[in-house]
Structure 1
Amino acid sequence: MSALWLALHYPLLDLEAGDGPVDRPRALVHRHRVLQANPAARAAGVETGLRLATARALCEALEVREADDGARDRALRHQGRQLLALTPQVCPAPPASLLLEVGGCLKLFGGFQGLLARIDRYRLHCPFTTRLGLGPTPLAAWHLTDPPPLEGVPETARFQAWLAQLTLDQLDLEPRLRERLQAPGFRTLGELYPLPRPALGKRFGAPFLDWLQRLLGEKPDPRRPLAPPRPFRRRRDFDDPLDNLDHLHRPMETLLGELATDLERHQESVAAIRWHLYLNNGHRDTLVIRRAHPGHDVATWLDLTRRRLEHQVLEAPVLGLGLDGGRPRPRNPALADLFPDPGARAPLAGLLEKLAAEPALRLYRPDRDPGHLPEETERGRAPLERPPAPAAPPAAPATPEDRPLWLLDPPRPLSVRDAVPHWRDRPLSLFPQEERFSQPWHDQAARRYHVAHHPDGLCCWVFQDDRDGWWLQGFF
């Protein structure tokens, strides 16, 4: 796979960063000199370098703008984030260009023509004037602007021929360096091709040699790509307060659609989202929705959100709705996700997510904790919470592996008939193995634990102490 770069230039970005292209004459001015003019102003005779007074004399309706570097940079970053839908390698090239590495995503768009169709669609809807460049390296794409119609990716030799035709005036070089190159009689870049590289570096400087080698692909040209904005945050304010939670379903679906588009653009998923209900009384209610595994589909998030809303009580009407996405994680679908079995059961993770969205169930995941008595060793954590990674290798368990998963705290007393413990009015059959707990410092009698079988088929963990009789500790 050969490298291929696209360059998108925004030649009038300083003039258009505010409200886009306009038909009226407009010029960018600095220290009473025209730095840039739009087509309408140029048609009236306004050219770069004119004094402001002369430009106004030529065009009475001239609109003057001062350079705003902040607005220009913000507009460039915004366009770069839009282009992340095409490739993750979008590199800013200040002051008004973006460089896109597209060689690795040609198959994604069905080949070179499909990629160009997406670029043309972007340029058609882009609010700024654009020019396109194409090349095998970032610098080559920056210089080879407005390529001819192409059926496929040009060969490297063709790119080299196009670069060779560039005059020194067309190269992005400092004026003094350009004069030094023109002094011996060089006029085009191709005239420098046959010269030994060490001699070029010795005569015109190491920075020029480094630039030339990166332009021609003789040396790597690493670029820092634009980082996508994180985390995802959106808010919608309502014209009229909403006093019915059912009216939130449609705006929630819209916000989830924006989240899904953002995740799809970067091939990511999230394991949790956070809803914010901005109330009329100045308060804010926050609802956290979690999933067993990171996901990006709107339907599941909306279903879990609706289940959670069924148990929400509004203290005041809702004035606004906010959505925060969790920490995005790279999406790496497994083969089973690509080719699911039509007759397969739904994964248990989906059932767990729905149960966890019902706060009335008070669902928790049992976990182990150090303690003297069995009921003290069990603690509960959120059902979808991931256990913390151990700081050190875990020690060998101090308790047998055949302990029940469900422990009762406190233990339930059992009735006794004919010296046999009963539960639910039915006798328990005790297995002969016995385990003894002695905790005199707890001011409790010694416990003798047994595994018992109930006629209903349940396997129980029971104990007997000499003071209070039989107790039910848990279930296997």
Structure 2
Amino acid sequence: MALYVYLHFPALQCDSLAEAGQQTLPLAVVDTQHSIIQLNEQAAAQGVQLRMGLATAAALCHNLQLIPYQEQQQQALLMAIAQQLYQLSGEIAPDPPAGLYLRGCSMLQLYHGLDGYRSALLGGLKRLPYRYAYASAATPFAAKCLALQQFNQLTADHAVTDKALKRSPLSFTELETKMQQQLQRLGIDTLGRLLALSAAELARRFDHRLISYLGRLRGEFFHALDYIRPEPGFSRYLELLYDISDVAVLSVPLQKLLQQLEQQLERNNALCHQLTLHLYSRDRATKSYSIGSAQGEYRAVNWLRLCQLQLESSQLTAPVYGLQLEVTQFAPQQAQSDDLFAPQQGNISALQLVSLLQARLGRGAISGLSLQNQHLPEHASGRPLPLLSTRPQAGALLQRPAFLLPQPRRLHEAVEINSGPERLCADGWQLAAQRDYFIGRNQQGQWLWLYRTAQQQWFVHGLFS
């Protein structure tokens, strides 16, 4: 049994601003002909309607906010919705600028029937901030025609959908406006009257595109759909209604993007170690931030904390009108096996603490400490990545001071030698470069690491803790 679902999103660009937490004002989207093509509920409540002119709309609503229609942004929003719904329905084909085709018959076995599929799909749509209408039918064009009329039913009873199709005005079909006018002059104003005519008579009077459309509407002709494939990462763009120059205010729309990322990571049972945040300004070049997590995160609240620390440390140099969040690679989540008898840990793990410090102070400011198998004290320690486990080398068994001086200083006080000497040579064991190291104690009780050169000069190189 063939079953297709069509989802229609009448105000994607307008609703995306509501997603950014900026829906308090009446808002409308206008096309190049200065006609309103999208509006929010606040504008509709004051009498603004679709296809209304700007003069009439401004007279009805004095504080109406207008934004231009952006086809590229509309397309990106539609594809983002398709990717979010992919885990619920495996075959999704975009129908720009505002629709999606879903092949539902292939999902009925997975959801144990239409009721389970309906519940999962509508549940996923309710989590999205976009208004939508939907319908199901035996063919893609039939489902689209009903969805544009806000039929809002998912049913496998084709008798119900056929009856609704026959009452549908031609304005909800895919027929061109000129062809609709020709049919209306003949008294054909609904699909029922059009479908009652024979194909031979229609082919004699009208263009072949009418026969092609009716054939796909009835299911007599094959209707090819270009189904999407899941994207390997995550990329979302959000345009703001007004420019923002405060990090605290910018956190509100940023949190919306991070919540979308969290939903996708949860569906994929994955996490990510790094994301890239692009801030778009009108007068300056796009500024990009690379935010990392050593442990890997999927929760939006944890990523928001890291992003806020990164933004606060760098400060915004120009007002921001748009955000883009990108993640190129996901990593699978691994179950954490905590020891039942382990001591109680803090609220955050060691890796999370490292990530917070890196976001606040910079990556180069945080490092670990390791022992190297080098006899020279200047090279006996290294600065690896934080919390990197390294095996102690042979040099770790030697007595070395906790604090090395940046440069050895001449010894100008009396010292009691406790142990030594230990001869070290920096350059090929040449006599001039040799050093005889001792451990001594001065009159203040400090334990010093001393060395004597071949010229019998004494220096202090470090202090023991």
What is the TM-score of this pair, normalised by structure 2?
0.50
Deviation at 1:318, TM superposition (A): 5.4
Q: Is the 8 A contact 1:214 1:221 kept in 2?
A: yes
Q: Could you tell me which residue of structure 2 aligns to residue 298 of structure 1? A: 333
Q: Is the 8 A contact 2:90 2:107 kept in 1?
A: no
1:220 aligns with 2:219: no
Deviation at 1:258, TM superposition (A): 8.0
Q: Is the 8 A contact 2:135 2:152 kept in 1?
A: no
Q: Could you tell me which residue of structure 1 aligns to residue 23 of structure 2? A: 22
Q: Could you tell me which residue of structure 1 aligns to residue 138 of structure 2? A: 136
Q: What amino acid is aligned across from residue 180 of structure 1 in structure 2? A: Q
- 1:42-441 to structure 2, matched below 5 A, reads 42-145=44-147, 146-147=150-151, 153-230=155-232, 261=266, 263=268, 298-299=333-334
> Could you say what secondary structure the match of 1:218 adopts?
coil
1:113-171, Cα deviation, whole Å (9 max, x unpaired): 11111122123211111111111111111111244767xx4333333222112122332
Q: Could you tell me which residue of structure 2 aligns to residue 456 of structure 1? A: none
Q: In structure 1, how many angstroms separate the alpha carbons of the residues matched to 2:205 and 2:123?
A: 46
Q: In structure 1, how many angstroms separate the alpha carbons of the residues matched to 2:72 and 2:120?
A: 29
Q: Is the 8 A contact 1:260 1:298 kept in 2?
A: no
Q: In structure 2, how many angstroms separate the alpha carbons of the residues matched to 1:61 and 1:196?
A: 53
State the superposition RMSD in angstroms.
4.4
Q: What amino acid is aligned across from residue 58 of structure 2 in structure 1? A: R
Deviation at 1:100, TM superposition (A): 0.7
Q: In structure 1, how many angstroms separate the alpha carbons of the residues matched to 2:235 and 2:185?
A: 56
Q: What amino acid is aligned across from residue 106 of structure 2 in structure 1? A: G
Q: What amino acid is aligned across from residue 3 of structure 2 in structure 1? A: L
Q: Could you tell me which residue of structure 2 aligns to residue 332 of structure 1? A: none
Q: In structure 2, how many angstroms separate the alpha carbons of the residues matched to 1:177 and 1:125?
A: 39
> Could you say what secondary structure the match of 2:334 adopts?
helix
Q: In structure 1, how many angstroms separate the alpha carbons of the residues matched to 2:188 and 2:59?
A: 41
Sequence identity (%): 27
Q: What amino acid is aligned across from residue 30 of structure 2 in structure 1? A: V
Structure 1 residues 202 and 115, CA, compared in 2 at 3 Å: closer, same or farther? same
Q: In structure 2, how many angstroms separate the alpha carbons of the residues matched to 1:228 and 1:18?
A: 25
> Could you say what secondary structure the match of 1:18 adopts?
helix
Q: What amino acid is aligned across from residue 177 of structure 2 in structure 1? A: P
Structure 1 residues 78 and 154, CA, compared in 2 at 3 Å: closer, same or farther? same
> Could you say what secondary structure the match of 2:17 adopts?
coil
Q: In structure 1, how many angstroms separate the alpha carbons of the residues matched to 2:192 and 2:77?
A: 36
Q: In structure 2, how many angstroms separate the alpha carbons of the residues matched to 1:85 and 1:180?
A: 44
Q: Is the 8 A contact 1:18 1:71 kept in 2?
A: no
Deviation at 1:233, TM superposition (A): 9.4
Deviation at 1:11, TM superposition (A): 0.7
Q: What amino acid is aligned across from residue 208 of structure 2 in structure 1? A: A
Deviation at 1:286, TM superposition (A): 12
Q: What amino acid is aligned across from residue 228 of structure 1 in structure 2? A: P
What is the TM-score of this pair, normalised by structure 1?
0.49
Q: In structure 1, how many angstroms separate the alpha carbons of the residues matched to 2:222 and 2:275?
A: 50
Q: In structure 2, how many angstroms separate the alpha carbons of the residues matched to 1:3 and 1:301?
A: 44
Structure 1 residues 359 and 193, CA, compared in 2 at 3 Å: closer, same or farther? farther
Q: In structure 1, how many angstroms separate the alpha carbons of the residues matched to 2:44 and 2:275?
A: 52
Q: Structure 1: which 5+ runs fail to align? A: 235-255, 288-295, 304-313, 322-357, 361-476
Q: In structure 2, how many angstroms separate the alpha carbons of the residues matched to 1:123 and 1:277?
A: 26
Q: Could you tell me which residue of structure 2 aligns to residue 425 of structure 1? A: none
Q: Could you tell me which residue of structure 1 aligns to residue 250 of structure 2? A: none
Q: Is the 8 A contact 2:88 2:124 kept in 1?
A: no
> Could you say what secondary structure the match of 2:10 adopts?
coil
Q: In structure 2, how many angstroms separate the alpha carbons of the residues matched to 1:4 and 1:99?
A: 11
1:353-395, Cα deviation, whole Å (9 max, x unpaired): xxxxx999xxxxxxxxxxxxxxxxxxxxxxxxxxxxxxxxxxx
Q: In structure 2, how many angstroms separate the alpha carbons of the residues matched to 1:71 and 1:257?
A: 22
Q: Could you tell me which residue of structure 2 aligns to residue 3 of structure 1? A: 2
Q: In structure 1, how many angstroms separate the alpha carbons of the residues matched to 2:184 and 2:151?
A: 26
Q: What amino acid is aligned across from residue 29 of structure 1 in structure 2? A: V
Q: In structure 1, how many angstroms separate the alpha carbons of the residues matched to 2:174 and 2:51?
A: 19
Q: Is the 8 A contact 1:6 1:133 kept in 2?
A: yes
> Could you say what secondary structure the match of 2:66 adopts?
strand
> Could you say what secondary structure the match of 2:2 adopts?
coil
Structure 1 residues 187 and 49, CA, compared in 2 at 3 Å: closer, same or farther? closer
Q: In structure 2, how many angstroms separate the alpha carbons of the residues matched to 1:277 and 1:231?
A: 10
Deviation at 1:46, TM superposition (A): 1.9
Deviation at 1:16, TM superposition (A): 1.8
Structure 1 residues 77 and 297, CA, compared in 2 at 3 Å: closer, same or farther? closer
1:419-457, Cα deviation, whole Å (9 max, x unpaired): xxxxxxxxxxxxxxxxxxxxxxxxxxxxxxxxxxxxxxx
Q: What amino acid is aligned across from residue 334 of structure 2 in structure 1? A: A
Q: In structure 2, how many angstroms separate the alpha carbons of the residues matched to 1:83 and 1:25?
A: 29
> Could you say what secondary structure the match of 1:120 adopts?
helix
Q: Structure 2: which 5+ runs fail to align? A: 237-260, 277-289, 296-330, 339-353, 363-388, 392-465
Structure 1 residues 359 and 160, CA, compared in 2 at 3 Å: closer, same or farther? farther
Q: In structure 1, how many angstroms separate the alpha carbons of the residues matched to 2:78 and 2:163?
A: 31
Q: In structure 1, how many angstroms separate the alpha carbons of the residues matched to 2:275 and 2:189?
A: 66
Length, aligned pairs only: 279
Q: Is the 8 A contact 1:133 1:147 kept in 2?
A: yes
Deviation at 1:76, TM superposition (A): 0.7
Q: What amino acid is aligned across from residue 223 of structure 2 in structure 1? A: D
Q: Is the 8 A contact 1:29 1:36 kept in 2?
A: yes
Deviation at 1:39, TM superposition (A): 3.0
Q: In structure 1, how many angstroms separate the alpha carbons of the residues matched to 2:44 and 2:50?
A: 9
